[in-house]
């Protein structure tokens, strides 16, 4: 990561921590279903794992029962804090929409397709078993879309649908990522883009490690 890019993310993290500190810890726990940890922290599910968030500092890390704190990518830290700051508590509607249907989503669709959807198709287009394994490994539930698809709760009340059409002799593999229709009530479009892109990247990374 270049120095300018790192500074941008550090500034964004600092801003997110400031906004996070303005919100009531009890209210965030109530709206998200996260659980309190000690007197001034919460534990929140994130992509099938758990993250510890201290309050009011807004330090975010993977939660380990033995107390060891594993490093988390800075974009994930920003995302989790933004979610905790913006979440409104509305449950998923059960209706899926495309990235293009998010506010101003059309403006960023080509980038989203290139950075999130196409890598999924390339990695799993001939590996449905691997796709199923990593999706189920993060608590994904199989749904009836494409050739194989899973819904994944990336954050409480924020579900993503990962859909795969397998490659054959005539057509290359394709992938899509859909969002619950209420997603924009919990995160802005930029945050949703990061959430989906980071989740896709993690699914690929986990598959490559197995």
Which position has the higher pLDDT, 33 or 200?
200
Same domain, 19 and 47: yes
Residue 91 lies in a domain: no
Residue 41 lies in a domain: yes
Closest of 130, 190, 186, 192 to residue 161, by C-alpha: 192
* pLDDT tens-place string over residues 91-150: 888 899 999 999 999 999 999 999 999 999 999 999 999 999 999 999 999 999 999 999
Residue 70 has pLDDT above 80, yes or no: no
Residue 67 has pLDDT above 80, yes or no: no
Q: Structural domain of residue 34, as residue ranges?
A: 3-86
Task: Determine contact, residues 78/193, Cβ cutoff 8 Å.
Answer: no
Same domain, 74 and 156: no
Residue 65 has pLDDT above 70, yes or no: no
- What domain count does the chain have? 2
- Distance CA(169)–CA(174), nearest Å, equals 14
Same domain, 122 and 172: yes
pLDDT at 4: 78
pLDDT at 76: 96
Tally Cβ neighbours within 10 Å of residue 182. 18
Same domain, 190 and 111: yes
Residue 69 has pLDDT above 70, yes or no: no
pLDDT at 64: 77
Residue 6 has pLDDT above 90, yes or no: no
Same domain, 29 and 102: no
The residues pairing with 46 across neighbouring beta strands, listed in sequence order, are 49
Tokens 């890390």 belong to residue:
61
| Boundary residue ending a domain (58, 86, 114) | 86
Tokens 């974009």 belong to residue:
75
Same domain, 131 and 27: no
- CATH number of the structural domain spanning residue 100: 3.30.310
2-20: average pLDDT? 91
| Boundary residue ending a domain (59, 86, 113) | 86
**pLDDT class of 201 with cuts at 50, 70, 90:** very high
Average pLDDT, the chain: 93
Residue 186 lies in a domain: yes
pLDDT at 71: 72
* pLDDT tens-place string over residues 17-50: 999 999 999 999 999 989 999 989 999 999 989 9
- Distance CA(88)–CA(32), nearest Å, equals 8
Record the pTM.
Answer: 0.92
* pLDDT tens-place string over residues 133-192: 999 999 999 999 999 999 999 999 999 999 999 998 889 999 999 999 999 999 999 999
């Amino acid at each position: 990561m270049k120095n300018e890019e790192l500074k941008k993310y550090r500034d964004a993290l600092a801003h997110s921590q400031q906004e996070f500190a303005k919100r009531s810890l009890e209210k965030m726990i109530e709206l998200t279903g996260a659980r309190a940890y000690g007197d001034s922290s919460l534990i929140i599910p994130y992509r099938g794992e758990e993250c510890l968030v201290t309050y009011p500092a807004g330090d975010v890390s993977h939660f380990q029962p033995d107390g060891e704190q594993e490093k988390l990518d800075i974009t994930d830290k920003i995302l989790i804090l933004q979610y905790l700051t913006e979440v409104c508590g509305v449950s998923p509607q059960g209706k899926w929409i495309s990235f293009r249907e998010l506010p101003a989503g059309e403006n960023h669709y080509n980038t989203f397709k290139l950075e999130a959807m196409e890598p999924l198709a390339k990695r799993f287009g001939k590996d449905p078993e691997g796709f199923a394994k990593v999706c189920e490994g993060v608590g994904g539930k199989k749904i009836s879309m494409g050739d194989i698809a899973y819904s994944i709760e990336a954050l409480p009340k924020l579900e993503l649908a990962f859909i795969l059409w397998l490659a054959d002799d005539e057509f290359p593999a394709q992938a899509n990522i859909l969002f619950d229709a209420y997603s924009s009530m919990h995160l802005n479009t930029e945050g949703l883009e990061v959430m989906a892109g980071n989740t896709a990247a993690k699914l690929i990374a986990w598959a490559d490690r197995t």
